[in-house]
Structure 1
Amino acid sequence: MDEIEMAAQHTEKHSDKLAVLIDADNAPASIATELLTEISRYGTASVRRAYGDWTTPNLKSWKDVLHKLAIQPMQQFSYTVGKNSTDSALIIDAMDVLHSGGLDGFCLVSSDSDFTRLAQRIRESGLKVYGFGEKKTPQPFIAACDKFVFIEILRTQQTPAAEGEPAHEKLQPMMRAAVDANARDNGWSALSSVGSFLVKNDPSFDPRNYGYQKLSELVRKQSYLEVKEVPATDGSANVHVYVRYKTKIKS
């Protein structure tokens, strides 16, 4: 490992057993493969289930990938037009899986705010909750998760946004709070601690939202930040990354 990245990602145990519950009515099948690849960063998808009315043609795209990715289809008929029976089925099943034990966390795949209370309930039981949905996902559901990933960043490689764009305007105060909260007496903050703070403060934070694969790449592109690398003292090839606000030079 050549640098220490976001603690929220690297401190997760890849052996954690996760239940992946997909609201197929509310999630595109086109990102199914990328979704499972992303989930593998946080643990092992021991339970893989997709919920919907599989008798309708609406879910044809999901049917094409279910067996390929070993995802179990969970049938739920739509008894009433305009009522989402899929949500209720997923929530009930999630509670059954939760109480059966043996899992370390859940991955809830939907952009629907109806799963906000479910995410809260799972976290109250001491398990991790990873949310996956589109950028239109309501903020309450995002906030209820330990980590939330926008599926748009899983589709294609993102290009870095210009620093003057709104996303970066929002980024600077977030970054300042994270750096200040973790700064040592000399002003330097460990990048791993900064990354952890950012995710705890905003579960949807991800450097890929800004067009960068790694947090270290993102901070190096911020003109107001200074970055340094310090070799590990244990004889390994590891490098510790630190960041701080640039010191203004008095004229």
Structure 2
Amino acid sequence: METTTPTESIALLIDADNAPAAKIDFIIAELASYGVVNIRKAYGNWKKSELSGWEKVLHEYAIQPRQHFDIVKGKNASDMALLIDAMDILYTKSVGVFCLVSSDCDFTPLVLRLREEGKRVIGFGGKTAPEPFVNSCSHFLFLDEKPAKADATARPKATGKSLKGDTKLMNVLRSAVEAQADDDGWAHLGPVGNHISNQGSFVTSNYGYRNLSGLFGAVDAFELKKTKTATGGTLYTVRLKPKIAKKD
């Protein structure tokens, strides 16, 4: 996963009506790899019993609640308030990363506008989040997958078979490797990761893997090679497995 400077300023904007409060620790932990969450706001009608879960964690995580009554039955003003605040932050604050916690497709135009201004947008939401919203974000992480018992923030690893059966994923991985490959088909993992990120929202943790090397290593369609650098680090290269010619 591509990361920003650790000191990048982040604005966390939560659509409390469409997000689970129980996942706030995971959200904050993930954002730590992108920078510092200096702005933290949650929007909703706090008189609703459904938001009691969020009320319990607001002070613990220093999140500012923004109260907005339902003006018309079945409608709420929270979404509009979040959008207005996002635009205010865009033009008045030095923020490089916006984080939207919601599964509401209505925020897609906002995400596209923020990205037009060169901002990175991290989305968190459920598997029911519409594809246009998910794809518009720089990265989107799903909140409703069951965590592994050993780690409350971990995702269960997808098997190599299920990864290989994901046609969309395989096309993304193949095209990235082919675009960065040398004459022998090998590609450095760093540029491959950048190529994947430039195509749209992609996060290895959504598949249960901490990094791209683990994901490639699980799929038998690729060869992964690691070598030690002069400084003691590890350099990964990857290529598509050469096709073996069938004997007559």
Q: TM-score, normalised by structure 1?
A: 0.89
Q: Is the 1:31–1:154 Cα contact (8 Å) retained in structure 2? A: no
Counterpart of 2:243 in structure 1 is 248
Q: Could you tell me which of 219, 224, 227 is aligned with 1:227?
A: 224
Q: Is the 2:147–2:156 Cα contact (8 Å) retained in structure 1? A: no
Q: Is the 2:188–2:236 Cα contact (8 Å) retained in structure 1? A: yes
Alignment CA distance shift 1:154-1:120 (3 Å): farther
Counterpart of 1:237 in structure 2 is 232
Counterpart of 1:165 in structure 2 is 162
1-structure distance, mates of 2:212, 2:108? 28
Counterpart of 2:68 in structure 1 is 76
Counterpart of 2:191 in structure 1 is 193
Q: Could you tell me which of 78, 86, 89 is aligned with 1:86?
A: 78
Counterpart of 2:211 in structure 1 is 214
Counterpart of 1:123 in structure 2 is 115
Q: Could you tell me which of 36, 46, 54 is aligned with 1:44?
A: 36
2-structure distance, mates of 1:118, 1:143? 13
Matched, 1:100 2:92: yes
Q: Counterpart of 1:81 in 2: which secondary structure? A: coil
CA offsets 1:121-179 (integer angstroms, 9 cap, x no match): 11122222111111211121122221111123585433333333377432322211111
Alignment CA distance shift 1:160-1:103 (3 Å): closer
2-structure distance, mates of 1:182, 1:14? 27
1-structure distance, mates of 2:93, 2:203? 30
Alignment CA distance shift 1:179-1:65 (3 Å): same
2-structure distance, mates of 1:244, 1:48? 42
2-structure distance, mates of 1:221, 1:158? 15
Q: Counterpart of 1:199 in 2: which secondary structure? A: helix
Alignment CA distance shift 1:152-1:214 (3 Å): farther
| One-letter identity of the residue aligned with 1:80 | V
Structure 1 portions without partners, runs of 5+: 1-5
Counterpart of 1:143 in structure 2 is 135
Cα RMSD, aligned residues only: 1.8
2-structure distance, mates of 1:167, 1:82? 43
Q: Is the 2:163–2:219 Cα contact (8 Å) retained in structure 1? A: no
CA offsets 1:213-245 (integer angstroms, 9 cap, x no match): 22111111111111111222xx31111100001
Say how many residue pairs are matched: 240
1-structure distance, mates of 2:164, 2:239? 20
Q: Counterpart of 2:160 in 1: which secondary structure? A: coil
Q: Is the 1:31–1:151 Cα contact (8 Å) retained in structure 2? A: yes
Q: Is the 2:221–2:241 Cα contact (8 Å) retained in structure 1? A: yes
Counterpart of 1:20 in structure 2 is 12
2-structure distance, mates of 1:174, 1:103? 30
The worse-fitting range, judged by mean Cα deviation, of 46-55 and 222-231 is 222-231
How far apart are 1:42 and its partner, in Å? Answer: 0.8
2-structure distance, mates of 1:198, 1:92? 31
2-structure distance, mates of 1:98, 1:199? 23
- Aligned-residue identity in percent: 40
CA offsets 1:10-51 (integer angstroms, 9 cap, x no match): xx1111001000000000000011111111111110000000
Counterpart of 2:51 in structure 1 is 59
